[in-house]
Structure 1
Amino acid sequence: MPASRLLRPALAALLLTLMTACAQEPDERGNLAADAPLPASVPQGTKLIVGDPPTKVALQLSGQIDDFSFDIEWANLSGGPQTSEAFRADALDVGAVAEIPAIHATWTGLPVKIVASKFRKDPLDHPTYELGIAPGISVKTLADLRGKKIAYSPGQAQGALVLKVLKQAGLTKDDVTLVELPSTGDVYPNALASKQVDVAPIGGVNIKRYTTKFGKDGATTLRHGLRDDPGHLYVRTATLQDPAKAAAIREYVAAWARATRWVYEHPKEWIDGYYVKDQGLTAADGQYLVELAGEPDLPADWSDAIARNQETIDILAAETGNPKLDAKDLYDLRFQTVGADAVKGGAR
């Protein structure tokens, strides 16, 4: 056999090794490749700006706030619109959101990646939102939504939920009137109470407060029967090209996961420290929210989550005219096991 043929396998193996090594190192501009392993250590002087207020409180209450190997500046913001605005202004590194902001950001030309995901172990028993029904409006089933005025917030989880609910009911946007309103604060409950809309997805303590305050007038809520439980951390794709910040984000994801588990395992401390002292709610409201949240699920395999996200993308694309995306492209799978690995053995 000619020597050249004997050398071919060895040369091919050498070439593969060299290519792999190159992919794992920053390029000549110092950028980390998208398929390179995440750096294991954070260089001194690294800083992250993080918009995740609940996790900040959880880390304070659990005694882990000073455990990071890098500096954190906490930004008091949350939700898709605020987070995307901060990303565009180069004023934020990590944001905490639900399912829709990463999709909407990509459609608006802002490349982002999901680096952490959490869900609820019993999502149908512990929904994030219920459909608030205005006083005097009769909606007993999803089919009764036909002809109703429904609050709608494009680019946010509540807006996507409305579209999913309509599909579940066999309805389209043409069968209802969508009223664009921001879903922040008490906007939706007040819009319902004033008959500005007939139906609106309301979440958290607003579910309880809405029926308590306006139930005497005929206000009700209806469970939609769909999953609405995703919670994500996401970042700009460009941020992950910085090796130092990529390493810091990995460390933050691990801390975020431990904080998530700590909250579930320490409900009394969480109610008093976050809901009462930080958010100004009553202990009873805090207890209601803890029970509503249920147990968190931090999967080490994102396959099912990506498949569900793809269904959401397909629904939104069809209804909004935006191009279809491949849901897998929104996730940085290098982070897939970071959160789950961090909580093995229980939270600190």
Structure 2
Amino acid sequence: MLSTTAHAGNTAAIPNDIPPGTTLAIGDPKTQRALELSGEIDKLPFKVKWANISGGPRTIEAFRANALDLGSVADIPPIHAVWTGLPVQIVAASFRKDAVNHPIYKLGIAPGAKIDTLADLRGKKIAYSPGQAQGALILRVLQKAGLTQKDVKLVEMPSTGDVYANALASKLVDAAPIAEAIQPRYLANYGPDGGKLISHELRDDPWYIYARQAVLDDPAKAAAVREYVKAWGRASRWIYEHPEEWAKGYYVQQQGLSPADSQFLIKSAGEPDLPPNWTDAIARQQQTIDLLAKETGKPAFKAEDLFDRRYETFAAQAVSNVARK
């Protein structure tokens, strides 16, 4: 039987030196591009096998195949990994300052759905993706609206690409969480017919780097992870401080978005917050675990065990060191 208990964490000190030839397989396309644009990518003191993998399902699949060491995800995939018996731990955490005013998602409303407030979701069909951040957000939204799963119809579907937007357009669902990158396009395409976006006014900003436990148990790889966390922190700050370079080099050239859409995303993202202390983050993660456990029937576990706090200060320190130069 697979264990559904989070790993209690490592206590061994992270080695100072990274042995020659140490390699990490990393699925973090956004940071990869930031390191390329900033010129920092060749300064990493270990070898990297970059993988064009992001999001919970694909990352967990690659973890299980031992094809990936580190992944970049929101708050739900690490929880889901534990519940599927996959030992993982979070090694870096990022949030957004003024998070409520800089949400990652808004609720997309289908043309003609007659939803103006969260309370209007009663009796409606809502897109739902278990095991992903979008699914957990829907459960939080229902909780805020004083509704339960029995008060709505959750329609399970993957949240990749334009799936949710297309489901709204075809009226397969009445509401769905729509990510920033898709919001302008959804309004442009379906706004004239009555499609719209409404705010949920909840925090949906956690973003983590997490690793397979076996990676963190390997002293050489654990040391390389420390240096990647530092580079990730610097890259997060570089993105914020170089908006025009980021808009052109990532959103336009790599993601194929229009200049107007790229500017929308730059303004929407706000300033990153890389906390040097994870106590508040762990408390919020515990609330999420408890909510999901209640709503899905899965066993609750200690959020503390999901974080490898040996890495807690590295990202913030790396940003601070750059600021002092």
Q: Deviations over 1:286-339 (max 9, x none)?
A: 110011100000000001111011111111000000000111100000000010
Alignment of 1:191-210 (within 5 A): 191-210=167-186
Contact 1:55 1:259 in 2 (8 A): yes
Bigger radius of gyration among the two: 1
Q: Which residue of 2 aligns with 1:262?
A: 238
Q: CA deviation at 1:346?
A: 3.9
Q: Which residue of 2 aligns with 1:215?
A: 191
- TM-score relative to the length of structure 2: 0.96
Distance (whole Å) between structure 2 residues aligned to residue 242 and residue 140 of structure 1: 52
Secondary structure, aligned partner of 2:102: coil
- Verify: 1:239 aligned to 2:209, yes or no: no
Q: Which residue of 2 aligns with 1:126?
A: 102
Number of aligned residue pairs: 316
Q: Deviations over 1:127-148 (max 9, x none)?
A: 0000000000111111111000
Q: Which residue of 1 aligns with 2:229?
A: 253
Distance (whole Å) between structure 2 residues aligned to residue 346 and residue 291 of structure 1: 24
- Verify: 1:143 aligned to 2:119, yes or no: yes
Q: Which residue of 2 aligns with 1:294?
A: 270
AA of the residue aligned to 1:116? A
Q: CA deviation at 1:40?
A: 1.3
Q: Deviations over 1:117-169 (max 9, x none)?
A: 00000101100000000000111111111000000000000000000000011
Name the structure, 1 or 2, with higher relative contact order (CA <8 Å, separation 6+): 2
AA of the residue aligned to 2:143? K
Unaligned runs of 5+ in 1: 1-32
Q: CA deviation at 1:345?
A: 4.3
Distance (whole Å) between structure 2 residues aligned to residue 345 and residue 81 of structure 1: 35
Distance (whole Å) between structure 2 residues aligned to residue 244 and residue 286 of structure 1: 38
Deviating beyond 6 angstroms after TM superposition, the runs of 4 or more aligned structure 1 residues are none
Contact 1:189 1:202 in 2 (8 A): yes
Distance (whole Å) between structure 1 residues aligned to residue 259 and residue 151 of structure 2: 41
Secondary structure, aligned partner of 2:201: coil
**Equivalent in 43, 47, 57 of residue 19 of structure 2:** 43
What RMSD, in angstroms, separates the aligned Cα atoms of the two structures? 1.0
AA of the residue aligned to 2:35? L
Contact 1:314 1:324 in 2 (8 A): yes
Distance (whole Å) between structure 2 residues aligned to residue 335 and residue 279 of structure 1: 31
Unaligned runs of 5+ in 2: 1-8
Contact 1:261 1:346 in 2 (8 A): no
Distance (whole Å) between structure 1 residues aligned to residue 322 and residue 314 of structure 2: 14
Instruction: Indicate the percent of aligned positions where both proteins have the same amino acid.
Output: 62
- TM-score relative to the length of structure 1: 0.90
Q: Which residue of 1 aligns with 2:315?
A: 339
Q: CA deviation at 1:251?
A: 0.4
Contact 1:150 1:176 in 2 (8 A): yes
Distance (whole Å) between structure 2 residues aligned to residue 207 and residue 277 of structure 1: 19
Alignment of 1:172-183 (within 5 A): 172-183=148-159
AA of the residue aligned to 1:211? L
AA of the residue aligned to 2:276? A
**Equivalent in 266, 284, 292 of residue 260 of structure 2:** 284
